[in-house]
Structure formats: C-alpha cells, structure tokens
Amino acid sequence: MKATKHLLAMVLILIAISTYAQLKTETNEEQVPYIEVTGTAEKEVIPDQIYVGFYLQEKYVNKTKVSIEEQELKLKDAIKSIGVDLANLSVSDLNADYIKVNWQKKDVLTKKNYTLKLADATIVGKFFQELDKLEITDANISKVSYSKMDSLVKEVKINAIKAAKNKADYLLAAIGEKTGKALVVRETETLKNINYSNSYYTNSYIDGVKVLGSSNTTFNSKNNEIQFQKIKVESTIYVKFSIK
C-alpha cells in the first residue's frame, strides 16, 4: 500500500515538473522578439517535352487496303528523318478502334492512336510537315512539360526562402536590429502552370494538318511557327525569425 502511494506521488511530481517546464518554455518563446516575413520567387522555362497525339487508320487506295503496319513503317522512317528517337513514339491506346466500312462484306478498318514526345517547337513543326506528307490530317498537342521540373521547383523554393531572409534583414536594419535564427519555416504555396490538356480548339492548320492545341499554344499561320507559353513555377514561404 505504501509502495503504491509513493509511486502515485512520484507520478504527480513528474507531471508537475513537465507542466512547469512547458509553461516556462512557452513563456520564454513569447518573450523572444521576432519578425514574421514571407518570401516569394518565380521562374519561367520553355517546355522541352511536347506530346503530339495522332492516329493511323487502315484505308483503301485504288480499292487496295493499306494496313496500319505499312503506314507505321513509313511513319517511323519519317520520325527518324527529322532526328527523333523512335523510343519517343508510343501507342496511346493498346485497344485499337474498329470502324465498319462495308456492312455487306463485314469489312472493318482498324485505327491506332499514337503519341510522340518532341523536344521543342521547331521539331514539332517539322513533324507536322511529315504528317502532311503521310496524309495524316489530324493531330493534337495533348500536353507539355519540363524535363527538370523537380530541380526547378527546388531552385524556386530556395530562392523564396532567401528572399524571406533578405526581407527580414533590410527591415530590421532600418531600425538598427539584426536577424536571428529561424524559429518557424512554412511553405505556404507552390504553383506550377504546366497543364495544357482539356482546353483544345480546332481551327489551326500547319502544312495541311488540322492541329488541336491548347489555349496556351499559339500558331503563326504565315510561317507555320508554333510557340508555347513558358512554364512558370512560383513559391511563397513564410519564415519567423528571432531578433538578435
């Protein structure tokens, strides 16, 4: 019984000590002078990954069916002719579509969707020229991105927190004070405008190819130039500094 009372007393003492230490810490923190600032940074880059979607479909030429395989061989030759690695070509939909063209003979034409990843607007223009030669009349710019996005985001965040430190420095210098250590660091926002999908229009043509592009893609009809809006990354970071 005495042992139980002693144990209970020890527990109560430990709780009291812990509570006192916590209250003291909070009180000390409240007494530390501080400054709260936010730093922002942004950077724009030109997209270096442009995804062009298109399809091949079996067709009849002079009553002879031209298979997708035959067209695909020509397509691959065209892609290699503009210096693009065939590894960038992929089938978008493994389940080919089937289109009936003659109900009596029960003939069908197959259709396969493809995506080709390209590096810049110039090579995209060259590819559209090849599509025109192959009589592929529909293509869409499905999305664009930047290959080093992770590094870009990291760089912008670092610049944002440096901007916060710089802001604290010059504000405190104005009143004869100096910036101390960071007490709280919190990322409040990081924005990336890289989604080009789901915003197509259908009234642009390049070398006879109807191009479905996003509203952030512009086409110069005089010389068939394609221009992509730069990708922008923005970051805002909140920092609470002590004042020395």
Q: Domain check: are 86 and 17 in the same one?
A: no
Q: Domain check: are 68 and 110 in the same one?
A: yes
Q: Domain check: are 98 and 141 in the same one?
A: yes
Tokens of 31: 């007494």
The structural domain count of the chain equals 2
- Judge whether 76 lies within some domain: yes
Helix axes 121-133, 68-81, angle to 10 degrees: 140
Q: Output the average pLDDT for the chain.
A: 79
Q: Domain check: are 55 and 117 in the same one?
A: yes
Tokens of 132: 């025109």
Separation CA 199–CA 214 (nearest Å): 5
- Judge whether 238 lies within some domain: no
Residue in 144, 140, 127 with CA at minimum distance from that of residue 79: 127
Q: What is the pLDDT of residues 141-156, one digit of tens each?
A: 888 889 999 999 999 9
pLDDT score of 6: 61
Task: Report which listed range, 67-81, 182-196, 220-234, is most confident.
Answer: 67-81
Least confident range from 34-38, 75-79, 150-154: namely 150-154
Q: What is the pLDDT of residues 223-234, one digit of tens each?
A: 556 677 888 899
- Judge whether 19 lies within some domain: yes
pLDDT score of 107: 61
Q: Domain check: are 52 and 118 in the same one?
A: yes
User: Looking at residue 55, which CATH number applies to its domain?
Assistant: 3.30.70.2970
Q: Domain check: are 5 and 59 in the same one?
A: no
Q: Domain check: are 69 and 121 in the same one?
A: yes
- Judge whether 101 lies within some domain: yes
- Judge whether 5 lies within some domain: yes
- Judge whether 17 lies within some domain: yes
pLDDT score of 214: 47
Q: Domain check: are 68 and 27 in the same one?
A: no
φ/ψ of residue 169, rounded to 5? -60, -50
Q: Domain check: are 99 and 23 in the same one?
A: no
Contact status, residue 88 vs residue 76, Cβ threshold 8 Å = no
Domain range for 20: 1-31
- Judge whether 90 lies within some domain: yes
